[in-house]
């Protein structure tokens, strides 16, 4: 099925969005992602403006050096249990700040094109700079191909 310019982002986006604050710890962020089964979460200011996004890739970037340490024998140290990072860094220090947001007034065809060209699974959706939702490839495919 072809996407037309008449379908809008606001009609496909998820409105109930989990968010993080920049002062949250990486431990707290990891717990939220695992508990909710999420792969990424927008990081927002107190005014709900998108500051960045924190996802599995960002978490692995900061956690892997602590979890996996190659020793001279070639063995790996077992990972500690979640919540035991001690001095967990803050979300603001590890989040991806280069976040492209979509407008709720953009066409679905535009959104799908940006997802493909940027090779991203999801984008925050804003109205006047304020987060109002998230749209993902899954949202689009489910609505277009689903029952």
pLDDT digits (tens, 9 = 90+) for 28-81: 999 999 999 999 999 999 999 999 999 998 998 887 765 555 544 455 555 555
Q: What domains sit in the chain, N to C, each tagged with a CATH number? A: 9-145 (3.10.580.10)
pTM of the model: 0.79
In DSSP terms, 44 is beta-bridged to 50
Distances (CA, A) of 65 to 60, 101, 108, 111: 8, 30, 39, 35
Range from 63-72, 81-90, 100-109, 119-128 carrying the lowest mean pLDDT: 63-72
pLDDT at 91 over 80: yes
Determine the number of helices (DSSP H) and then strands (DSSP E) in the chain: 5, 5
Please give the pLDDT value at position 81.
Answer: 53
């Amino acid at each position: 099925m072809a996407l037309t310019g008449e379908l809008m982002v606001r009609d496909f986006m998820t409105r109930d969005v989990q968010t993080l604050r920049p002062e949250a710890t990486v431990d707290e962020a990891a717990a939220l992602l695992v508990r909710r089964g999420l792969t990424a979460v927008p990081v927002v200011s107190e005014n709900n403006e998108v500051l960045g996004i924190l996802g599995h890739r960002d978490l692995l970037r900061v956690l892997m050096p602590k979890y996996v340490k190659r020793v001279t024998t070639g063995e790996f140290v077992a990972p500690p249990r979640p919540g035991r990072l001690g001095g967990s860094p803050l979300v603001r220090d590890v989040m991806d700040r280069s976040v492209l947001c979509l407008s709720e007034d953009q066409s679905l065809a535009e959104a799908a094109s940006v997802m493909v060209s940027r090779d991203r699974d999801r984008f925050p959706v804003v109205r006047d700079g304020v987060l109002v939702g998230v749209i993902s490839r899954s949202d689009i495919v489910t609505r277009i191909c689903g029952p």
